Structures are given as C-alpha cells and as structure tokens.
Structure 1
Amino acid sequence: MSKKVDVLGIKFDHTTKTETVNTLKSLIKENKKTFIVTANPEIVMHAQRDPQYKKILQSADYIMPDGIGIVMGAKLLKNPLPERIPGFDLMKDLLNIANKEHYRVFFLGAREDVLNKAIANVNHEYPGIQIAGCHHGFFNENDPEIVDMVKGSNPDMVFVALGFPRQERWISQNSHLFEKGIFMGVGGSFDVLSGTVKRAPELWRKLNIEWLYRFIKQPQRWKRMAFLPLFILKVLRSRR
C-alpha cells in the first residue's frame, strides 16, 4: 500500500506511473476488484462542494494526480508527490497489458460515433485485446440493463468515459455487483483514442503544460482552467 498525500481532503497515492502499472498488473492477475480515480484540481474543487462525491472519491482504491495543479498543490503543502500521472497515459498502459494478456475490456461512454472510432482504433493498435463490449454514454445512470450488459461481458477492465462526477458515481454505485475487474473513469479519453481530439505534442506534456495546449486549441475551456488559481488559493489557505 503506497503512502497517501492529502490535498484538500482527497488522499492521493504517493507513487509513480511505473509502480502503479506494476501493482495493477498483479491485481488483475489476482482477480482483485479495483476502483481507480485520476483527479485534477477541478475534480478536487467539485468534491469541496459535493460531500457525496467526496465520499465516492474517498472510497476509491487508488487516486492518481492527473493534473500538474495537484502536484503543485502537494508541493505547497510540503508533502510532494513523485510525478503527475495522466489518466490517458495510465489507460494506455492498461491497454498494453490487456493486449499482451488477451484481457477482456469494456468501453462505456462518449458519443456513439466517437466510441465506434475508438473501438476500431483499439482493435487496430491492440489486436490482442478482447473487446468485451461497449455502449455510448447517453443513458440513465440508474438503468439496470447497462449494468447487466457490462457484468454479462465478464470484463477484466472497464473504462468509463462519462465525465466527472457521473463516471465515478456510476462505478461507485455498481462495482459491488462485480466479482473482479479494474474500474476507471477516463473522462474525454475516448475522444483522443478515436482521433477526434488531438493530444498535446510530447514536449508540451514533458514540460507539464498540456493544459495550455488544450486551452489554445479549445479556448471555450477557459471556465475549466479558471479552477487552477482557485484551487491553489484554497491549498494556500489550508496551510494556515
């Protein structure tokens, strides 16, 4: 069990991506059920306003710092995290494992056209993966038929791309019905998998300014970016 770093009541795992992937490899082989959250400042700030969502995050097995703001916040609290662990990169690592081990993967979320393109690209790039099933994200999250469909596919991994807080809520409400599997909320990752949205070039990612690239490409995201200074301010206040 890794050390935890508390950032505004959300306990992040003090670990690297490599360590995380090795741990998850073992958990899948042991058929251990695992709930992973990749949280950025926007998610942490939402948890401040929504106690029920905060409880859901606190119930996760692993919370990864997806966002340089989380790493900055932990540093300001004098309890630094080793590195940022982007959710998309972690999902790709899990897809690599699934490809090698021929695991069954279920994809839940996004628009139907985006989902179909993402599945086609996964089939091409990871031919060893067994696509257990898929369903678009436009459904009532309390619909038992969706749960039955996912459960009936006997997945080893379930990637849920419904956006927060919906994806974490769906996992929290339903994962107890499964006997095994990695459950991970992946936000807009299917958009990138499908090629609908381009990721920042590697240099931008290495410099931890992927957020800036996304803002330049999608200026309508300014409201989401505004959470970073508010988050840092709240972290500074929490030090007192």
Structure 2
Amino acid sequence: MLLRKAEHTLKAIDYFTFDGFLFQYLFFFLTGKSHKRLAPDFGSYFSEMFDYMDRKKESVYFVGAKKEELQTFVGLIRSKYPNIKITGMHDGYFGSDDEPNLLSDIKKNSPDKIIVGLGTPKQEKFSVKVKKTSPDTLIFNCGAFISQTANHGEEYYPKWINQLNLRWIYRIRKEKGLFKRYFREYPKGIIYIIKDRFIL
C-alpha cells in the first residue's frame, strides 16, 4: 500500500518475496501459482544465504537499525560467520543530505551484497538509489531484521511458532503498533490486491 504511492520505485524493484502465509494463499487463489514463503530472517532463507556467503567468503554492507543495535548485530554476524567480510555499515537514522556520502561509501567498498533494513518505503527508495550507483551489488531489503536479531538473537521466532504459521500473533505480542497494521491496514491491502488483479 505504501509502495503503490511510489510507482517509480515499485517498477525498479526486481523481485518480491512472500514473507507471510496470507500472501501465499491470496496469490495462489488469484493466480493458481504456488510460491514458497521467503522471509528476510534466520527463520527463512537468510540462514541459507548467510551460510553461502560464509562459504564463498563474500563481502556485505549493512544499513539499518539504531547504531547500538547495528554494532550488536554485526558482532553476532562476525562471531557466527567469520569468513564474511563486512566492508561497511551505517545505522538507519540518516537524512537526504547524508545519502550521497553513504552511496559513495557503498560504491567505493563494492560489496557483493548489501542488506538494508529501513522499513517500507524508505528502504526500497534507498535501495533503488544503490542499484543505480552500485549495479553489481545484490540488494536485499529486510525490514526490522537487524534490530530484531540484535535485541532477540538469531532465533527471533520459536520453532513451533514458525511451524504453525503463527508469526503474526507472536509479533503482535512482542512489538507495539502491529495490531493496527494487521487488523486495519492488511484488510485494506487485500482489497487493493483484488482490485489490481480483476479491475485494473
């Protein structure tokens, strides 16, 4: 719903993944196509991706979270994945005046991947700018992944929560402000998706 107001940004994004079962089921209902849930966290494909990066000794640049959270997160990554080269990092609290220097630093360090956790739509808009200045770098948006990992460790969700697809209930209990998103904004989003599919 936020990105549909930024059409230029929306069109510049190469891939979207389904990070919740609701969108999996809705997409299957509307198109007949099945897709696996791929969430940007260690409970999903990020675990395999970081293992791969460690084996291949890839480099990465992190952007997002508060400065203290980012430092804690990077410490956890360095401890578990010692072969990953962290070429740079920047917290998520920066303005438009800071962007040119940050984009320049990313370009100078030329990481294999950059992981951006700024929240929507800021992370998508920033990532599109990175895509233009550093076209050879793979960019992954991760929402609150950096903060969650720093504050709660690698296993943010208990395994049984993941297995039963109850992540949304768990997050409502853990994080403020999500009740409104799930029960007011998500129903609106479903209406927009159906409208886009059958009317536009």
Whether these two folds match at TM > 0.5 is: yes
Report which of the two has the higher share of strand: 1
Contact kept in structure 2, 1:76 and 1:235, CA below 8 Å = no
| Cα distance in 2 between the residues matched to 1:110 and 1:141 | 17
Aligned pairs for 1:161-180 (under 5 A) are 161-180=117-136
Match of 1:191 in 2: 147
Q: Structure 1 residues 139, 219: closer, same or farther in 2, change over 3 A?
A: closer
- Number of positions where the alignment pairs a residue of Structure 1 with one of Structure 2: 193
Q: Structure 1 residues 236, 178: closer, same or farther in 2, change over 3 A?
A: closer
After the TM superposition, which segments of 4 or more aligned residues of structure 1 sit over 6 Å from their partners? Answer: none
Contact kept in structure 2, 1:91 and 1:186, CA below 8 Å = no
Deviations 1:55-90 (A, max 9, x none): 323322221112222112212314232221112133
Aligned pairs for 1:21-170 (under 5 A) are 45-48=1-4, 50=5, 52=6, 54-88=7-41, 89-141=44-96, 143-170=99-126
| Greater RCO (CA < 8 Å, at least 6 residues apart) | 1
- Structure 1 residue 239: Cα displacement: 4.1
State the identity as a percent. Answer: 22
Match of 1:210 in 2: 167
Match of 2:181 in 1: 224
Match of 1:27 in 2: none
Contact kept in structure 2, 1:76 and 1:236, CA below 8 Å = no
| Cα distance in 2 between the residues matched to 1:171 and 1:235 | 24
2:16 is paired with a residue of what secondary structure? Answer: strand
Structure 1 gaps, min length 5 = 1-44
| Cα distance in 2 between the residues matched to 1:150 and 1:107 | 10
Q: TM-score, normalised by structure 1?
A: 0.73
Deviations 1:197-230 (A, max 9, x none): 7622112112222011111222532121122222
